[in-house]
Structure 1
Amino acid sequence: MGRRREGKVIRKKDGGGTTTSLMLRLLMLLCIVSSMALVLQLNITNQHNLMLSEEPRAWAAQPAGPTCRPRRHLVFLKTHKCGSSTLQSVFLRYAAANNLSVALPHAGVYLDAPATGHSLRVKELRESPFAPPSGKYHMLVHHTRLNVRAIQQVTYNDSVWVTVLREPAAVFESMFHYYHLNKFFGATFDHLVWKLGANDGGKALFKNANSRYQGRLGRNQMSFDLGLDDLDTHMESVLRDAIRILDDTFHLVMIAERMDESLVLLKHLMCWGDEDVAAMAHNVRKDLYRSYLSEQTVATLERFNAADVKLYHHFKAK
């Protein structure tokens, strides 16, 4: 009798162990399948443009207040004519005050080159006599077209990613005068706007409408700076996916028209002090050199830079 009861107990234990083992195996299989599905989804989402992010940044928010620690790793994607020189001066000042390394161009103001498809010159940065021993820079804040993979090779995984956008019509007007694009487009600013207002959108009325000055400057400039190819900006689905990827890539997208508020957000994000984000405007033109932008002019330029308009309003609304 005792032996039979002992045998029953043993059989019950064996059955429970088998059930537990089976459940663990099923859970492991479910995790593997879920992980594979997530990777496949990320690959499908990002296959349109390799310049953009293929994975979220390796970064986690930290509590605000006295418990947070100042962040020292930063990627600032410097966009053209968006108040980015003002922000760059803030970052360079912080780097100098805290003995941080900054990725510097070999020559000029650009970290990339049209000959390399505007990809970051990783080899030059790593072999620079000023490169840190690790090959990783604390900050990257100079002009370069967004190429996440390349930037990750010379920056830290926990870097905070920041950029700035501006009202698209104002960007185009400022860029036109600053870079003297009248010769490139074959028209003065007012004449160009008038041509763009034609029924065909001005495409047949002036040269270089869809080309880029020095392979770098032109239509939908902010979208181009942020890694979108010109053909991508005309494809609604690709543009929508790209904006979603950019939303995951950057921790903060500042808005030039809301610079004060943006600096406050930057301060809290970086856990810096008020003096660290104090800014003085740089590269600001006098009113004498500005073109008046009527509502009709703004509407015309927004049609011409439609991708930038969608990009700008997406992040402005956040």
Structure 2
Amino acid sequence: MLPEPKRSVVAIPPPGDGPGFWAGAPSAVVWDGDIYLAYRLRRPIGKGRGYAVVIAKSSDGVSFETLLTISKEQMDTESLERPRLVHTPEGGWRLYLSCATYGTKHWRVELLEAEDPKGFDPRHAQVVLPGDPKTAVKDPVIVRQDGIWHLWASCHPLADPDETDQMVTDYATSPDGINWSWHGTALERREGSWDSRGVRVSAVYFTGHFTGDGGGDRSVVAYYDGRASAAENYEERTGIAIGVDPAALTALGSTPRAVSPYAGGGLRYLEILPLPDGRHRLYYEMTRPDGAHELRTELRTGPGTGPGTGPGPGTGYRAE
């Protein structure tokens, strides 16, 4: 279920032309026949950075109507990064927002709750992943499986100002999606490889089932963003990691699995959305020829997957 840019179309264009203008970092939910998409808009450093998160709705997964725009000023943050949109089992909606703390390299994650995707109110935000003086936390990936909330977040070290672009992915669980318990680093950087500077999980799928004693026939497939240097910051490419434990993922291969054919090669923040008819829609952020980033989408057909499961590599899916 890897992106094939030649088969994709633009869902959301960037807010300007040239490097530093981005539309992307998508999170998608299908509900009641429509697709709801949360994404981040960004301008270059000095011109606004991540200035807004947009909630939009589509009947076809390609053409979106804006429902709500949340600005960085409303969230009292210097910049916004990848959001996470969730429809809860109780029928409500949650929006997890990655927020930069003013004047620092620190990031935190705040939560908004609403009965409807148009109803998120920044005045009622609560911090759910505060990070700490040594660690920035952002870009959460959240999956509810077998009654447990699972989370993978990008974590950056803050002790050395010259090293804050480094990142690993840590794993946490929760009974309610609000109070989280951390279980250490799930995906590490690989020295000497294309992902030696940073790894950020972008999408996770479970196959099989978990048991209370940690057993079961489970396996985990994760897609992640990686880069080899600080110079490649903002131009991460997509790789695959697997494991039998969501807290311990192993990256596969010595090269990225999906890249942009343009500029710095950035193809990141992959989101894979299962559709009710057994197909899947992919969303991702990709660098275009002028260096701007656009949000692109592909529709895939293939064998269906059961509840709580998802696609893995080598499953014979094809693009439409």
Q: Same fold (TM over 0.5)?
A: no
Higher helix share: 1
Q: Find the structure with the greater CA-based Rg.
A: 1
Which TM-score band applies after superposition, normalised by the shorter structure?
Answer: under 0.3
Higher strand share: 2
